[in-house]
A and B are shown apart, each in its own frame.
Chain A
């Protein structure tokens, strides 16, 4: 009970913050909460199943681009609804066609997906609509974006907690450990993976839609930037993607670090990012926290 109370107080405090922040700090907070949402939503599917998805920006970008296309013709709540729906359908199609792929093939496909969608949209805009680049004119304030993103983050972590206590959570864990055993225990592999992937991807799409007014000017190469996918994976894995609070624990420090790096070392930043990705995937696939705990246990075991 006290944990829930603590969470409620924290959320209320976070919701009250914008009034005390400069524009720059508020922008930083929006980015921070966005990555908490992305990393938590990513972990909802990939954390337990261990299917490393690099498709984050495919959905995030689709959300943003949907807003860019629809913002002048529909009221904002309907635009968000459409973005969510598009994310849902896209996830369903992608999930049905790829979730049978094993490990590395899934990683490669998920990475290619963002590029595929970017190229398709570019082709369509150039050849059919004749406009490459769109403007987002919405009277959504920075505070409005912050509050919406905060709500989405809370929803995502709440949903993860709920899943963790239900059948779906257990099924995902079993799939992550051994798909053969999962199937022989009566778990419908495709359905379980599809549900988790669709939930995760729809949330990521909504995050893209909510964040999009920050851009004002949108074009495919801007919103389908693969860095978003890599950052999300690094944050979630480093914090511990199979723990409820792991993605958040990874996202907060790493977002600030990357923000600082990208300003201080704009040229070497991509290289640093790549090296970190490799290091995290190979050295700490279970997360820094778990690795530290295992190390501590081993030390304890050794001295006992």
Chain B
């Protein structure tokens, strides 16, 4: 069943076309990798899906509902949650409060004990449940990333967007991070993840999209996509030379 249906999505910033007529479908329960060199438009595409930016053109349909041009809060209430490439926590709130927010205002609109228990559960999932009343601004970078994931999970989203959530982790943390995302996939959640770490992409994503200069240049099974001539030319070549 199709969860998200993106048709000819386009975003231009002045003369620069950051996302150039991109179309693809995501099935429910799928974990989709979104690859591409720096500046190829991956974050912009996520921004269009989450409503952070309004598309210049194109159509976005979530579960049969047209979401094109909707505000971010409405899209969030329809079940899309995300993390940001540059981590965004709520620094003056406690960990528990941070994670309560999407449970309180997201699709479920919980309050009272229900919101606290959902928040605790999400913090437990990422291993932060021992510091519920710490202030989020005092966390280390890695813990901020965990907190941000917990916050996205507390929305109980149908579609989760991860923007390089695994970036900046050391090898041990990376293994834990991959295991964590793997454990999420068993819950039936749908994930689109922007990722540069090939090890993670191979382990987690059966299918990948590749973008280059705003255009979608490949869409298919990860193994096939990664050995595609155009992809190697556009993306892997650059990484290997780096």
Residues of A within 8 A of B (CB): 167, 170-171, 173-174, 176-178, 180-189
Q: Are A180 and B93 in contact (CB under 8 A)?
A: no
- Least CB distance from B181 to A in Å reads 19
Q: Are A178 and B90 in contact (CB under 8 A)?
A: yes
**What B residues does A187 contact at CB under 8 A?**
73, 101, 105
Q: Are A185 and B105 in contact (CB under 8 A)?
A: yes
Q: Are A186 and B106 in contact (CB under 8 A)?
A: yes
**What B residues does A185 contact at CB under 8 A?**
73, 76, 101-102, 105-106, 151, 155
**What A residues does B230 contact at CB under 8 A?**
none
**Contact mask for chain B residues 91-104; partner A; CB cutoff 8 A; 1 contact, 0 none:** 11100010011101
Count how many chain B residues have C-beta atoms less than 8 Å from C-beta atoms of the other chain.
29
- Least CB distance from B43 to A in Å reads 13
**What A residues does B93 contact at CB under 8 A?**
173-174, 177
- Least CB distance from B135 to A in Å reads 11
Residues of B within 8 A of A (CB): 50-52, 71-73, 76-77, 81-82, 84, 88-93, 97, 100-102, 104-107, 109, 111, 151, 155
Q: Are A180 and B90 in contact (CB under 8 A)?
A: no
**What B residues does A188 contact at CB under 8 A?**
71, 73
Q: How far is the CA of A51 from the CA of B75 in the complex (A)?
A: 26
Q: A181-B88, A184-B51, A184-B76 are in contact. List 13 more A-B contacts (CB 8 A).
A: A167-B105, A173-B90, A173-B97, A177-B90, A178-B88, A180-B72, A181-B89, A182-B101, A184-B73, A184-B81, A185-B73, A186-B76, A186-B106
Q: How far is the CA of A182 from the CA of B77 in the complex (A)?
A: 12
**What B residues does A176 contact at CB under 8 A?**
92
- Least CB distance from B165 to A in Å reads 15
Of A176, A177, A186, A188, chain B has the most CB atoms within 10 Å of the CB of A186
Q: Is the interface of A mostly helix, strand, loop or mixed?
A: helix
Q: How far is the CA of A187 from the CA of B105 in the complex (A)?
A: 6
Q: Are A186 and B100 in contact (CB under 8 A)?
A: no
Q: Are A181 and B97 in contact (CB under 8 A)?
A: no
Q: Are B76 and A183 in contact (CB under 8 A)?
A: yes
Q: Are B92 and A167 in contact (CB under 8 A)?
A: no
Given the known interface contacts A185-B76, A185-B151, A187-B73, the answer about A180 and B88 at a Cβ–Cβ threshold of 8 Å is yes
Q: How far is the CA of A176 from the CA of B82 in the complex (A)?
A: 20
Which of B51, B88, B107, B111 meets A167, CB within 8 Å? B111
Residue of B nearest to A242 (CB): B92
Residue of A nearest to B97 (CB): A170
Q: How far is the CA of A142 from the CA of B90 in the complex (A)?
A: 46
10 residue pairs from A and B, CB less than 8 Å apart: A177-B90, A177-B92, A181-B88, A181-B101, A181-B151, A183-B52, A184-B76, A185-B106, A186-B106, A186-B155
Q: How far is the CA of A182 from the CA of B97 in the complex (A)?
A: 12
Q: How far is the CA of A180 from the CA of B73 in the complex (A)?
A: 9
Q: How far is the CA of A173 from the CA of B90 in the complex (A)?
A: 9
**What B residues does A170 contact at CB under 8 A?**
97, 100-101, 104
Which of B71, B72, B82, B90 meets A174, CB within 8 Å? B90
**What B residues does A180 contact at CB under 8 A?**
52, 72, 84, 88
**What A residues does B105 contact at CB under 8 A?**
167, 171, 185-187
Which of B72, B111, B155 meets A183, CB within 8 Å? B72
**What B residues does A178 contact at CB under 8 A?**
88, 90
Q: How far is the CA of A182 from the CA of B50 in the complex (A)?
A: 13
